[in-house]
Amino acid sequence: MRLSRPAAVLFDLDGTLVDSAPDLTTAVNRSLADIDRPPLTEDQVCAWIGNGARLLVARALAGERDITVEPPATDAAVARFFVHYHDCLCEHSRLYPGVLEGLDQLRAMGLPMGVVTNKPAAFTTPLMEALGIAGYFGVAVSGDTLGVKKPDPAPLIHAAERLGVAIGDCVYVGDSAADRTAAEAAGSPLVRVPYGYPGDDAIFADHSAAMTLTVDQLAAGLATESRKMP
């Protein structure tokens, strides 16, 4: 894949722009403590992030990623998770290195930007505001904005529509299997960040399918390509 100026850049949030795992782990562990269950490590929680809050909590209750039936305590635990995550949303969450610089450069190039996350909307904008990045984005599509979430392509298509561009002309920047599958189904090139929460799927075994770049590297690459244009 060659870098060429897209119509817009869409970003995943958790694991791509923001390292939110420490606060997600706190909220999960407080929810488990409420029902006298032992805490999980941050590494365990990292492997289960990316498919929305409900599946994260269900995986934490089940103690595994691939669950076919939700544990019976899921509804109550999700409700407790919302309370706890609200309380600790941005205690330790931080932007990854290069994110702010990259967003600044992309904005200076006049590129519209959006966020497409599986995070519930109750947390998406508050977290972006707490980290000072909400103003960069013309649209934020959350896990509960539509009836479906990634890996369904609909949230990506919706974000592009809201920005007034074709999804096939956008680039999507993400870290996980859900991101890759959604981008492929939407017809949008994917840029993978070299960090995040890829889970335990062998998602990027085919390395040729996605460029691996940090956000500032992506911005610098696009700026260089733009300067070469006649």
Ligand X SMILES: O=C(O)COP(=O)(O)O
Q: Which residues are the active-site residues?
A: 12
Closest CB to ligand X among 51 and 217? Answer: 51
Distance CA 53, CA 51 (A): 7
Residue 29 interacts with ligand X (CB under 6 A)? no
Two tokens at 137?
A: 């984005």
Q: Residue 99, Cβ neighbours under 10 Å: how many?
A: 23
Residue 19 interacts with ligand X (CB under 6 A)? no
C-beta of residue 212 within 8 angstroms of C-beta of residue 193 = yes
Q: Is 175 annotated as a binding residue?
A: yes
Pick the binder of ligand X from 9, 14, 46, 113 (CB under 6 A): 14
Residue 119 interacts with ligand X (CB under 6 A)? yes
Which x/- pattern, by CB under 6 A, does the window 41-70 give for ligand X?
Answer: --------xxxxx-----------------
C-beta of residue 52 within 8 angstroms of C-beta of residue 149 = yes
Closest CB to ligand X among 15 and 98? Answer: 15
Q: Write phi, then psi, for 84 (nearest 5 degrees).
A: -70, -40
Q: CA distances (Å), 144 to each of 38, 112, 130, in order?
A: 29, 23, 21
Closest CB to ligand X among 118 and 214? Answer: 118
What is the helix (H) or strand (E) element at residue 64, kind and residue range?
Answer: none
Closest CB to ligand X among 51 and 214? Answer: 51
Q: What is the CA radius of gyration of the chain?
A: 17
Question: Strand pairing of 18-19 and 94-95?
Answer: antiparallel
Residue 142 interacts with ligand X (CB under 6 A)? no
Binding site as annotated, residues for Mg(2+): 12, 14, 175
Q: Which residues sit at the interface with ligand X, rule CB under 6 A?
A: 12-15, 49-53, 117-119, 150, 176
Binding site as annotated, residues: 12, 14, 175
